Each structure stands twice: as structure tokens, then as C-alpha cells.
């Protein structure tokens, strides 16, 4: 019988799938709840511990109702939450190389996926994050969201969306430090992972710096185990090293 539950949101991404696979092995006592608009990707994953929730969209009402329904079906303590939503490019969106490439419609799409959607999930999850149970919250960010680390320029929309995400999650961590002493907040940069997100840009990745999703998931697992519940937000890369805000 499960004694805890782990929540993975935006669970169709390559890294999210690797986290699910690793967690099913490392946390046999946990129910793994995956939420995605493309939940069919787990049809071949055979495990009684895997609970699949399909979501039609990421509108505020849908997100809130999804979490409300989840609360009605389980009372297990949530020990880990992963928010993996994100967008870098699509069939019509590419990262800007120069300011002339900036497009307001693309910017709004990137902001919605990378900043607004994660924050809406966090808003809905406040009842979980303010319990007396220890819970580690991992929100996927990116090094390019660091204003101090920006030396190359470009990628205006993606950089801005991750910077905004970092600020809002750091803000939440400050609030949680007053409302809950049991939550650890991590903004995580996975490095360049072999996935559809990075595929168009892999030719520029230095040798040895293109990671398999399984490796990233394993590294993240180690990082979570090492982090103290210090009422602070940590901005960390796959090595566990701190990234400048």
C-alpha cells in the first residue's frame, strides 16, 4: 500500500517521462500521479503505482478543477511535485537571433507556456504546499533565465519567460517561508537534454554536454535528496551547482 504520492505535471516531456521511470524504481512506496494533455504516452507503462490524469487544456478553471478533484480522491501526503511545462519552439515559433525577429504573438505564447501555466499550477497547489508534510517542489527553469549569466543575448522571449518564472517562484518561496516550514523549492536547469525541445540546436552543443534524459532524472533525484528544507528557493543546474539569479 502506498504511503506517499508524487505529482508530475506536464508529464509528456522527455525528461518528465524519465523522472517517472526512475521514480517508479526508487520510490516503490509511492503513487506516481502524472498529469498531461498527452497522457496516452504512458499507455505502455505497466504499474499499479502510476495514476494517469488527462487534462484538456491549461486554462485556470481546468487547472483548479484538476487539483480539486485530485484532493477528493486521495489523502496521501504529497512528498514531491515536479512542474515540467515549457515551450522553446514550435512549427511557427523559433528563438529570436536578433531584435528584428521579435514577434508579439510568439512572445505571448512563450510566456503563457513557461511562466503563466506553472504559476497557475502553483496557485492551485497551495493547499498541498502549506501542509505539515515535507514536500520538495521542482519547477523546470533554464540557465538562460539568469540575467547575470546572459553573455550571448538572443532568445528574447524564452529568456524573458524563464526570468519571470524564476522571480515568481522565488517570490512564492518567500511567501511559503512564512506559511510553511516544510517545503523546499528548487528551480532546476537540466542542461541540454536529448529531446525534441533541444533537437534543432544540438549541433552547437559541446561534446559531452548533450545529456540523456535518464541521466538528468537521476541527477535530479540526487539533488533532491541532498537539499535541506531551508525555506529558500534554490536555482540549480544538473550538477547541483548554484546558478546566479
**pLDDT tens for residues 174-208?**
999 999 889 999 999 999 898 887 877 777 777 77
How many whole angstroms separate alpha carbon 104 and alpha carbon 70? 36
Instruction: Count CB-CB contacts under 10 A for residue 33.
Output: 23
- Cα separation, 39 vs 55, whole angstroms: 8
Q: Rounded CA gap, 35 and 42, in Å? A: 11
pLDDT of residue 46: 87
Nearest to 84 by CA among 190, 176, 168, 155: 190
Sign of the Cα torsion 21, 23, 28, 29 reads negative
Q: pLDDT value at position 187?
A: 98
Predicted confidence band of residue 4 (pLDDT cuts 50, 70, 90): very high
Q: Are 78 and 128 in contact (CB under 8 A)?
A: yes
At 214-239, the pLDDT tens digits run 999 999 999 999 999 999 999 999 99
pLDDT of 38 over the 90 cut: yes
Alpha helices in 180-238 (DSSP H): 213-226
Strands (E) across 134-224 are located at 135-140, 183-189, 192-193, 210-211
pLDDT (tens digit per residue) in 118-150: 999 999 999 999 999 999 999 999 999 999 999
What's residue 196's pLDDT?
81
Report d(CA 226, CA 198) in Å as an integer: 28
Once rounded to an integer, what is the mean pLDDT over residues 69-98? Answer: 93
Task: State the pLDDT at residue 207.
Answer: 75
- Between the CA of residue 5 and those of 2, 12, 130, what are the distances in Å? 7, 18, 16
Give me the chain's average pLDDT, please: 95
Give the residue-averaged pLDDT of 17-35: 97
In the chain the domains, ranked by start, together with CATH numbers, are: 4-237 (3.40.50.720)
Amino acid at each position: 500500500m502506498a504511503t506517499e504520492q508524487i505529482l508530475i505535471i506536464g508529464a509528456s516531456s522527455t525528461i518528465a517521462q524519465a523522472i517517472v521511470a526512475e521514480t517508479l524504481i526508487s520510490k516503490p512506496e509511492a503513487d506516481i500521479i502524472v498529469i498531461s494533455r498527452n497522457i496516452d504516452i504512458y499507455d505502455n507503462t505497466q504499474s499499479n503505482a502510476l495514476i494517469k490524469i488527462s487534462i484538456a487544456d491549461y486554462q485556470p478553471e481546468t487547472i483548479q478543477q484538476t487539483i480539486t478533484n485530485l484532493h477528493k480522491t486521495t489523502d496521501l501526503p504529497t512528498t514531491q511535485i515536479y512542474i515540467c511545462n515549457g515551450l522553446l519552439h514550435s512549427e511557427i515559433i523559433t528563438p529570436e537571433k536578433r531584435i528584428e525577429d521579435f514577434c508579439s504573438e510568439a512572445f505571448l505564447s512563450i510566456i503563457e507556456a513557461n511562466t503563466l501555466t506553472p504559476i497557475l499550477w502553483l496557485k492551485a497547489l497551495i493547499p498541498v504546499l502549506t501542509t505539515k508534510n515535507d514536500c520538495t517542489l521542482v519547477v523546470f527553469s533554464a540557465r538562460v533565465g539568469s540575467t547575470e549569466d546572459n553573455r550571448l543575448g538572443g532568445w528574447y522571449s524564452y529568456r524573458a519567460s524563464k526570468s519571470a518564472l524564476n522571480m515568481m517562484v522565488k517570490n512564492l518561496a518567500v511567501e511559503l517561508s512564512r506559511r510553511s516550514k516544510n517545503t523546499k523549492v528548487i528551480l532546476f536547469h537540466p542542461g541540454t537534454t536529448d529531446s525534441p525541445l533541444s533537437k534543432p540546436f544540438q549541433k552547437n552543443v559541446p561534446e559531452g554536454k548533450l545529456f540523456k534524459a535518464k541521466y538528468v532524472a537521476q541527477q535530479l533525484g540526487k539533488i533532491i535528496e541532498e537539499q535541506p528544507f531551508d525555506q529558500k528557493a534554490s536555482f540549480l543546474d544538473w550538477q547541483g551547482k548554484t546558478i546566479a539569479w
